Amino acid sequence: MSTHTDIWISGAFAVVVVDFLVYPFDTLKTRIQSPTYTKIYKNPQTGAVNRSLLFRGLYQGVGSVVLATIPASGAFFTTYEALKHTLHTTLPSQSQSNPLSIPTPKLPDPIIHSISSCTAEAISCFIITPAEVLKQNAQVLTNTNTTPKGKNAKKGALYQTILKFRHQPYKLWSGYTALLGRNLPFTGLNWPVFEYLRGKLFEGIVARRGGGRRGGGRGRDGDGMVEGGRGGDISAIERALITGVSAAMAGTVSSVVTMPVDVVKTRMMLGATATASGEGRGGEGKGSRSAWGMGKRVVREEGVRGLFKGGAIRSLWTAVSFGIYLCMYEGGRGFLQRRREGDTDSEGSG
């Protein structure tokens, strides 16, 4: 079984690589969802998109999110794996005294996965919220109307954004409820779907290789993996690839369902600088401090379609990022576990 160190290292390595790969897509999504998108990134006469401005500085603010997602990812996976394992082992699906008795599950697997992922996400979101606020405000700082002049004009976008919160640093957590409001439904739906798809794919491979029978002939280990018998062994590469494919499919479904909350979250985080620095950019911080108020404002000003801005880009990069992320996480965790077990065997034989 993987140790907490394996989980932390694998999660941190995977999140850094994925953040750099998909960050430009996240920047484009943030700019499209910005309330100033039409004003800043489109020609007022022709309505054509100013591509040179829209695609400029796609990695602005990447430093903050990379530094924060390392501890956030480690906290998420440690909590998720530990709580899932605890619930699986302390809530048996059938009587221990009589294995042949009718199963009496206390909690179905999807409920266990939802509880584990939502608890882990709440902890992770608290760590990542300040970085998300800085990141999203830095991403839209291609706007010449909000770029400071003078000695700070040549500083990076992230530095300029940090300066806006120097008098009210607590505003960096102003988007926590919105981030939690998006991520809890996302993870609550995403992880059960992911675990279900991954389990079915594992079962299919094991069954085709004659390594297990459907029904009573299969079991699960502490990580929810299907245990195959002889001929049903699944290699580490296959395990990682199946995990990646399942994650990509689950991520696409979850991103579509939670799209309106993502727009609200983006607007609230972009409005954080207005209230922290007193700029009042577009009145963004007035009358819409709650997630519900911001949602009503978006619908009132842009219609229901406004709640789905950037949906195609988000679905694409969520599928790619979540698929690569969990594929690398699973592969890295398995590699570290095998290397540790190999070292232990060598010491024992010596």
Q: What residue ranges do the domains of the chain occupy? A: 1-92+108-143+155-173, 188-207+236-276+288-344
CA trace torsion 199, 200, 203, 207 (10° rounding): 180
What whole-number distance in Å separates Cα of residue 132 and Cα of residue 269?
A: 8
Query: Could you tell me the two tokens for 67?
Result: 């530094």
Where do we find the tokens 């929810």? 224
pTM of the model: 0.74
Specify the pLDDT at position 215: 40
With H, G, I as helix, E, B as strand and everything else as coil, classify residue 27: helix
Residue in the block written with tokens 């390594």: 211
Q: Please list, in sequence order, all residues whose beta carbon lies within 8 angstroms of the beta carbon of residue 110, skipping any fewer than 6 positions away.
A: 192, 195, 196
Q: What secondary structure, in 3-state letters, does the chain show? A: CCCHHHHHHHHHHHHHHHHHHHHHHHHHHHHHHCCCHHHHHECCCCCCECHHHHCCCCCCCHHHHHHHHHHHHHHHHHHHHHHHHHHHHHCCCCCCCCCCCCCCCCCCHHHHHHHHHHHHHHHHHHHHHHHHHHHHHHHCCCCCCCCCCHHHCCCCHHHHHHHCCCCCHHHHHCCHHHHHHHHHHHHHHHHHHHHHHHHHHHHHHHHHCCCCCCCCCCEECCCCCEECCCCCCCCHHHHHHHHHHHHHHHHHHHHHHCHHHHHHHHHHHHHHHHHHHCCCHHHCCCCCCCHHHHHHHHHHHHCHHHHHCCHHHHHHHHHHHHHHHHHHHHHHHHHHHHHHHHHHHHHHHC
Residue whose C-alpha is closest to residue 170's, from 125, 122, 133, 119: 133
Tokens of 21: 């790969």
Give the number of other Cβ atoms within 10 Å of residue 43's Cβ. Answer: 9
d(CA 285, CA 277): 11
Nearest to 191 by CA among 263, 264, 113: 113
pLDDT tens sequence for the chain (350 residues): 567 677 777 777 888 888 888 899 999 999 999 988 988 898 888 889 989 899 999 999 988 887 888 888 888 888 998 899 888 887 555 445 555 555 555 678 888 888 998 999 999 999 999 999 999 999 988 644 444 555 555 578 888 889 888 888 888 887 788 788 888 888 888 889 998 999 999 888 888 877 554 443 333 444 444 333 333 467 778 888 899 999 999 999 999 999 998 999 898 888 877 666 555 544 444 445 677 888 899 999 999 999 999 999 999 989 988 899 888 888 887 787 777 776 665 555 55
